[in-house]
Chain A
């Protein structure tokens, strides 16, 4: 797979909307423009889902507890999310993408990879295509996007972040390896705070440090990600832009307004969560084999318990019973609980994910008899 020297150089664009949810809110409500805005709940336990660039100047970040955000930026305006609007805008931008490529992989509502090697609309250059996409997005949605253009997904994604917001950055094939050398490891896709910390302890801070390590070293320390990181450090990433990405898990978690302290209250809360997760399972038309229960205690200690079944869980009573059995292992409750979550994974898609509906050949678009 790696020895691919003969294959033509691919052209990949990563498009990422700038402060997506917050920008949509600022677009639709002029009073919010130029103001620090956080989309998310302002309640005591709320979390920031997205922050406007004005808010980011105060150090407000997404996934930050609303309380912390309000402390950092006292003038922060909290807005409740309107997901149906975001989804509609997301559809609009995906439609724009589809004018320029049939091979696109949405990563979330606001970002996607496009493989434009084929140059569907005969623009002539990937950079011009990226610019056309950005201006079409601005014209048709009133929002700005940033784009990264390169020869693989890894670099395209890093590039889109380089000149954010409303910017574009290009990493050409001969620049890739050198670009990665000076890149801090935490900017590698897939390297989160935990991995970055581990790398730090191993004396790996930049791409060059990573590149100096052998494959055996990588396997020993980074397990499954070893291959990806080894090649990424050399500016190589063979992952294809896949339009049929399937969802890996379905779940949901709830932070309680007040910590729960009794077994009964936890049991009741679990029933609620079972209901809503099952709804999502049905909505997404998936079934899965592994159920994971997550509990976060008042002291922020977090534990998970999971159980895998040999066959897919196909009915709600089975799903509920397994979830209850997992909770029973943790009872009687030793400390107040602030958060509980339930996730179904090892999924088999009953139908392909929404994302794959974009490209005809990887979609189950089989028509049915009408009887």
Chain B
């Protein structure tokens, strides 16, 4: 196995593929990336047994002797990244070593046999659809932050994808806040009826990194245990979380009648400033709503205090409500319109956050007790 490849295209692909490789693995070979050469195509595979990513690169010159080998992913990435941009990298396998050469640099990497490299089994897909990468990226960007992390309710450590014949909706929640985004455009799905699957958190984070070309297609194939997504250059496979996602419809407030409308930027800035003096751990801020005025107050255990007054559009009842300011900032950070809308029922009930112009996303945040 012997080939030459441009450093830049290798780094681009290896960056994504090595992202899947865990720093601590259960099997030594999981630290490696699988390189497969077939004439003028090189494929790179990284896996942690839950998520697998295959990248494909077409070589300018076909390699000599097709073959396959695995090498340490992190080391190979670090080497290639530190080579000068625009350089060529030559690979050759000798016995159980891989020689990497570029200009006057030479490296010899250890290998493990390619036949021992595990592949994520793929179940037969039941639902297929093709959408634009930009569409999927928007869905994930708008909701990903609300996924739980290492929650014992393991089904929250991921993102719900809900598919029916015409619509794709994604939902993420950590039990304190919930984010939901529905694809505005109608889609074409092959497969029987609707389906609900949960992608694991890591899978979501790796998948979104592949979505670099908004206008290009991504083909999605959902099976009972796996999801596969393919772009021109990459094939992503992930196990699905086996569990039941909570009934998200239940937590969306019915008809909150105290409605605040305000400038997203000025609210975001005011919250960012008050957050500095909120309790570092619990991040509580107090919102006082009176006619057309919002006061935001934060205190910390050192008895320091921040106060902001923001003019808004509000004619509901006077109200005081507490929130984790990070939850509000997360939402304001992903919304894009000039105006946002915050709808409240009372200080003990969930609040609804939306854009006033777009209507594909919806956020629910539970308050803190005052």
B247/A371 in contact, CB under 8 A: yes
CA distance A242 to B302 in the complex (A): 8
Whether B284 sits at the interface, judged by CB under 8 Å, is yes
Whether B267 sits at the interface, judged by CB under 8 Å, is no
Whether A3 sits at the interface, judged by CB under 8 Å, is no
CA distance A25 to B370 in the complex (A): 36
Q: Which of A115, A243, A366 contacts B282 (CB 8 A)?
A: A366
Interface of A is mostly: loop
B369/A240 in contact, CB under 8 A: no
A244/B284 in contact, CB under 8 A: no
A: residues with CB less than 8 A from B are 103, 115, 240, 242-244, 352, 360-371
| The 7 residue pairs across chains A and B that have the minimum distance between CB atoms | A365-B369, A371-B246, A367-B366, A361-B299, A369-B251, A365-B368, A362-B301
B176/A242 in contact, CB under 8 A: no
- Within the complex, the shortest CB–CB distance from A4 to chain B, in Å, comes to 13
Of all chain A residues, the one with the shortest Cβ separation from B367 is A367
Q: Can you report 19 residue pairs joining A to B where beta carbons are below 8 Å apart?
A: A240-B303, A242-B301, A360-B284, A360-B369, A361-B279, A361-B284, A361-B298, A362-B279, A362-B300, A363-B282, A364-B281, A365-B368, A365-B369, A366-B324, A366-B366, A367-B348, A369-B251, A371-B246, A371-B250
- Contact residues, B244-260 vs A (CB, 8 A): 246-248, 250-251
CA distance A103 to B248 in the complex (A): 38
Which one of A361, A364, A367 has the highest number of Cβ atoms from chain B below 10 Å of its Cβ? A361
Residues of B within 8 A of A366 (CB): 176, 282, 324, 366, 368
Interface string of B343-370 (1 = CB under 8 A from A): 0000010100000000000001011111
**Chain B: number of interface residues, binned into ranges:** 20 to 34
CA distance A143 to B161 in the complex (A): 61
**Given A103-B303, A244-B301, A363-B282 in contact, is the A368-B246 Cβ separation under 8 Å?**
no
- Contact residues, B269-300 vs A (CB, 8 A): 278-279, 281-282, 284, 298-300
Of all chain B residues, the one with the shortest Cβ separation from A360 is B370
CA distance A330 to B273 in the complex (A): 56
- Within the complex, the shortest CB–CB distance from B370 to chain A, in Å, comes to 6
Whether B175 sits at the interface, judged by CB under 8 Å, is yes
Q: Which of A115, A244, A367 contacts B368 (CB 8 A)?
A: A367
CA distance A352 to B282 in the complex (A): 10
A369/B350 in contact, CB under 8 A: yes
- Contact residues, B208-250 vs A (CB, 8 A): 246-248, 250
Of all chain B residues, the one with the shortest Cβ separation from A371 is B246
Q: Which of A361, A362, A369 contacts B366 (CB 8 A)?
A: A369
- Within the complex, the shortest CB–CB distance from A22 to chain B, in Å, comes to 34
Residues of B within 8 A of A240 (CB): 301-303
Of all chain B residues, the one with the shortest Cβ separation from A245 is B301
Residues of B within 8 A of A367 (CB): 176, 348, 366-369
Whether B163 sits at the interface, judged by CB under 8 Å, is no
